[in-house]
């Protein structure tokens, strides 16, 4: 396998012309023939038993060539790219130029653009953690009270907002029941807004055992078009009313929900954790502002395949996250009405930011001659192994040494930008 020629084309593309030795190609043809011959049904021979020469005579000598090209092309292309010393991005456009002698092929590729970033050290950005207020602490205590609330029956008063009522209901339009308009012993929290506007408000004030009508109008933009904008009457019966009863926020409650003996100690811990959370949020906002500044300072003509490839990566990541929740893209599209093109359009802006930021940080890494030690690379392999519970040797098979090194260099470049940034309080 050898590179014959590399030539720069228009639009920042390069064309590589390369060859494969005849012996390598013929070996690939032989392997393909062994795999494909059992599939041929030739008159006068049992299926799969016809000699290769007979098959080639009937279908042409090149019957196995296309598959053989597909066998040798990846390695040949990779060798040509390496010999050409090009940093290729996106998918190549292949062409077979000749299968005579040493077969020759070509690949048209895009390469990473020339990049320039000025003024990446000393960027000004705000970093101010939000102060933890007393009401923030009280809100967290309230959340824990609600989480530990007990449900009690209400028998001495009518239903109020925030109560949960258990009801039967049957809905009709012009006296005719409609699909999905009825239920038995349905729990409904009043004030939740989970029912048609006006429905829950008309439950308030009614007691257990009450039977009454609720009249509402479906919204004009209601998802069921046959009901949109129409008036409906629901016959309702209240079976049960319950409310949440919160525990007292005292020392005993603190002991129940934490390792602290007093509510004051528990609140102090809550305040410290909220402060830490706010510090992290401020740090993330600070880094995000620096990233935006780097993107603004980037000068580069970025080829479209780089954006397309990163958008593909983001779609795959999105699908992976869905699968962790027991879904997949097709199911997600069914429920949301989205399409793959619509999802790609949603993810495209973030993909563009990622590409630009990576290019900027790679430029800084090279400019500052950032070095990455073997110990750092090994530690990163170990971190990935621990994070995903995958044996470290398997991680090394999946992720190349060069990719790990490049990622760590980019991270080090970002750390340098943060270290040299001017913090505005």
Residue 398 confidence (pLDDT): 93
Q: What is the mean pLDDT of residues 382-398?
A: 94
**401 pLDDT more than 90:** yes
Q: What is the mean pLDDT of residues 313-325?
A: 92
Q: What is the mean pLDDT of residues 127-142?
A: 96
Residue 110 near residue 8, CB atoms below 8 Å: no
Q: 56 and 160: one domain?
A: no
394-425 burial: b if 16+ Cβ within 10 Å, else e: ebbeeeeeeebbeebbbbbbbebbbeebeeee
Q: In the structure encoding, which two tokens stand for residue 26, read together? A: 């013929």
Q: 235 and 269: one domain?
A: no
Report the CATH number at residue 339.
1.10.3120
Instruction: Domain count for the chain, please give it.
Output: 3
Q: 237 and 267: one domain?
A: no
Last-in-domain residue among 57, 85, 111 = 111
Element (H, E) at 281: helix 263-297
Q: 389 and 300: one domain?
A: yes
Q: 214 and 99: one domain?
A: no
Q: Which residues, listed in sequence order, are joined to residue 110 by a DSSP beta bridge? A: 13, 89
Last-in-domain residue among 183, 215, 245 = 245
pLDDT tens column, 43-82: 888 888 888 888 888 898 889 999 999 999 999 999 999 9
Q: What is the mean pLDDT of residues 123-134?
A: 95
Residue 90 near residue 47, CB atoms below 8 Å: no
Residue 310 confidence (pLDDT): 95
Residue 251 lies in a domain: no
Task: Please state, rounded to an integer, the average pLDDT across all residues of the chain.
Answer: 94
Categorize the per-residue pLDDT at 192 as very low, low, confident or very high, splitting at 50, 70 and 90: very high
Q: 268 and 298: one domain?
A: yes
Last-in-domain residue among 111, 139, 160 = 111
Residue 10 confidence (pLDDT): 78
pLDDT tens column, 167-189: 999 999 999 999 889 999 999 99
CA-based torsion, 20, 22, 25, 27: positive or negative: negative
Residue 377 confidence (pLDDT): 96
């Amino acid at each position: 396998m050898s590179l014959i020629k590399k030539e720069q084309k228009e639009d920042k593309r390069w064309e590589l012309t390369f060859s494969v030795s005849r012996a390598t190609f013929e070996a690939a043809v032989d392997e393909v023939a062994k795999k494909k011959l059992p599939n041929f049904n030739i008159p006068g021979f049992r299926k799969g038993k016809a000699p290769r020469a007979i098959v080639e005579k009937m279908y042409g000598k090149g019957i196995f060539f296309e598959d053989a090209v597909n066998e040798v092309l990846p390695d040949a292309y990779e060798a040509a790219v390496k010999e050409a010393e090009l940093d290729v991005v996106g998918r190549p456009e292949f062409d077979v130029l000749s299968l005579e002698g040493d077969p020759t092929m070509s690949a048209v590729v895009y390469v990473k653009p020339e990049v320039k970033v000025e003024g990446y050290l000393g960027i000004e950005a705000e970093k101010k953690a939000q102060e933890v207020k007393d009401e923030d602490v009280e809100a967290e205590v309230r959340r824990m009270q609600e989480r530990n609330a007990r449900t009690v029956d209400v028998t001495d008063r009518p239903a109020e907002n925030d109560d949960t009522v258990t009801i039967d209901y049957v809905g009709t339009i012009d006296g005719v029941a409609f699909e999905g308009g009825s239920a038995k012993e349905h729990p409904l929290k009043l004030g939740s807004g989970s029912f048609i506007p006006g429905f829950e408000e008309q439950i308030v004030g009614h007691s257990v055992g009450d039977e009454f009508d609720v009249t509402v109008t479906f919204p004009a933009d209601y998802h069921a078009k046959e009901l949109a904008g129409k008036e409906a009457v629901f016959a309702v019966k209240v079976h049960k009313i319950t409310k949440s009863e919160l525990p007292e926020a005292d020392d005993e409650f603190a002991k129940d929900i934490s390792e602290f003996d007093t509510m004051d100690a528990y609140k102090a811990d809550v305040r410290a954790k909220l402060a830490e959370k706010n510090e992290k949020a401020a740090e993330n906002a600070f880094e995000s502002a620096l990233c935006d500044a780097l993107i603004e300072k980037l000068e580069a003509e970025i080829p479209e395949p780089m954006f397309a490839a990163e958008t593909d990566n983001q779609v795959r990541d999105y699908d992976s996250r869905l699968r962790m929740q027991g879904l997949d893209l097709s199911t997600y599209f069914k429920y949301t009405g989205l399409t793959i093109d619509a999802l790609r359009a949603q993810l495209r802006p973030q993909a563009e930011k990622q590409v630009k930021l990576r290019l900027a940080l790679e430029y800084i890494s090279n400019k500052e001659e950032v070095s990455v030690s073997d110990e750092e690379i090994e530690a990163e392999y170990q971190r990935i192994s621990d994070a995903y519970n995958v044996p470290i040797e398997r991680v090394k098979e999946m992720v190349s040494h060069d990719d790990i090194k490049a990622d760590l260099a980019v991270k080090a470049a970002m750390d340098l930008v943060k270290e040299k940034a001017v913090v505005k309080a």
